Structure 1
């Protein structure tokens, strides 16, 4: 673990391999939250366990895509006991997170058409444990808006690199003012508003990260979206997939 009474967590990365682990250690991180797109929870857990070590804790999570492709609202859930699919209503997802007593984080609030807005945050603030106040994909005005929402609702902040590339892991992280040893301790800190600070790259490094992640966002919303909608068939995390045994069919939005 990092020396001193501090624990550094990159609270949302989309990739996990040896380069990610090496970059995380180089950035002085103690933990990363691994939540890839359209990957089922058992596979996320398996990979997290493979790459987790005494030097770097890898916490499995799901960024659930609620709503439709046209208007999807992302919610990051940690500590899930059961799988939750994508493309169900926001109401159904939040009810399931509450049933499982999951740790609920809101990434990139009010960003384009992929985020919870302030009204959503107000509706579910009793379920929400933390809200992202800095994201490398954001422009400065987006980060200011996110911070305003968190402060106005008295919701604890967090940040992440939202890394889709190994090289951007650790570009932003949440530093807690005490050390932890286990995933459960990190989740408890997120839920209970333990003291923390938001840390991120500045200057050229900050804008290089933003440019890379925004370019990837463009890819996600053009070629990758076309592939998933028309070429690849049903997503493995779709609510109607056989893996969910019909539990969420009534909650599916398409």
Structure 2
């Protein structure tokens, strides 16, 4: 949850931009909260990490620069098409990770629709991050790094620095879509390792069936494709 503690930590870590993309939250709420916590020292950019496919075989895609809401649990092609129509930057988080990520074949198949591949994720082990860097190199797509923070103490553990000024959401979208030069950095030491392990442990809750039962059975949840807010626009690509 984006709050004063998260913002204070981001500023203390020297971040200029924070991408805010909590799961299962609709775009209008994201935008309102991002605007509330943005100021002259920190730009908070709302984004959507869309779950494409079914819960058992979902593929995460991070879209930055959306103008209209897009639900979860639509087909992969449906998600890519919706991102394209809105001119969003499309990023692949934690590639090849379990059943929640695009695999190497899918990344190659959709290469022209992807603007960057995550090459360092705090919650992954180093061999997994090396594998991600290899696939980004193989498909000739820029990398990016993130703390992928689900716990506030993880904010600022991994970050990406661009060789151009990022003063607005549009600046970030253009830098990502243009493949602007950038460098991925991370912290080191025992606290960094401990925070990574804590984030990994958090996956147990994040991926539990009990959470699914509470969130995605009635069709009235905020990012369910049949929610009234989407006006039936995604019925043809819904997987539920």
Query: Does TM-score exceed 0.5, indicating one fold?
Result: yes
* Aligned-partner Cα distance in 1 for 2:51–2:118: 16
What residue ranges of structure 2 are gaps of 5+ in the alignment? none
Q: Name the structure 2 match of 1:23.
A: 9
Query: Could you tell me whether the CA contact under 8 Å between 2:60 and 2:93 is conserved in 1?
Result: yes
CA-to-aligned-CA distance 1:149-169 (integer Å, 9 cap, x gap): 000111001011111111110
Q: Of 36, 48, 56, which residue of structure 2 is paired with 1:70?
A: 56
Q: Which residue of 2 aligns with 1:185?
A: 171
> For residue 235 of structure 2, what is the aligned residue in structure 1?
249
Superposition deviation, residue 206 in structure 1: 2.4
Q: Secondary structure at the match of 1:251?
A: coil
Tell me by how many angstroms 1:225 deviates.
3.1
Q: What displacement does 1:205 show?
A: 2.2
| C-alpha separation in 1, matches of 2:80 and 2:181 | 25
1:139 aligns with 2:129: no
Of 145, 149, 163, the residue aligned with 2:135 is 149
> Structure 1 residue 216 and structure 2 residue 216: aligned?
no
Residue-pair matches, total = 239
Moved over 4 A (4+): none
Question: Structure 1 regions of 5+ residues with no counterpart?
Answer: 1-14
Partner of 2:146: 160
1:228 paired residue among 210, 215, 219: 215
Q: Secondary structure at the match of 1:146?
A: helix
The structure with higher relative contact order (CA 8 Å, sep 6+) is 1
Q: Partner residue of 2:116?
A: 130
Q: Distance in 1 between matches of 2:94 and 2:220?
A: 26
SS, match of residue 250 in structure 1: coil
Query: Aligned equivalents of 2:221 and 2:206: distance in 1?
Result: 14
Partner SS, residue 77 of structure 1: strand
Q: Distance in 2 between matches of 1:175 and 1:51?
A: 21
Post-superposition CA distance 1:98-145 (Å, at most 9, x none): 111111111000101100111111111111111100111111111011
Cα displacement (A) at 1:175: 0.9
User: TM-score, normalized by length of structure 1?
Assistant: 0.90
Q: Structure 1: how far apart are the matches of 2:132 and 2:34?
A: 29
